[in-house]
Structure 1
Amino acid sequence: MFEENAEAINQNFETIVKNQGSIIRNQNQIMKNQVIMDKKLNELNEKLEKLLNE
């Protein structure tokens, strides 16, 4: 029984470590997407400002 529990705990720990890796990769992708969105928003704001000033 103890060995089974220990094995289950080890598997859970391995899963947690893998999930943490996935979370970090996802967070990095989110940050990249935010940079892209900020650039696009700035471009749109500049275009809008030009249109409003015409």
Structure 2
Amino acid sequence: MQNNGSLGGEIVLFVLNFIIGSVIGGFALAWRLIVVVCYVSLTVYRLIVG
């Protein structure tokens, strides 16, 4: 952090960093859920077909 920066600017940067991290984390979570659904459905299909 800068010693001569205002407290408001630091809060804005913190909130922006938090929002960007949340968006990236949300996409990563959605991608993992999609992969899990694909693997589970493929496994169930293979068990049914034999």
Answer whether TM exceeds 0.5 for this pair: yes
More helix by share: 1
TM superposition score normalised by structure 2? 0.76
TM superposition score normalised by structure 1? 0.71
> Which is higher, the Rg of structure 1 or of structure 2?
1
Q: Which has the higher contact order (CA 8 A, sep 6+)?
A: 2
For these two proteins, the number of residue pairs brought into alignment is 46
| Divergent runs of 4+, >6 A | none
In structure 1, stretches of 5+ residues that fail to align are 1-5
The CA RMSD measured in Å over matched residues stands at 1.6
Identity %: 2
In structure 2, stretches of 5+ residues that fail to align are none
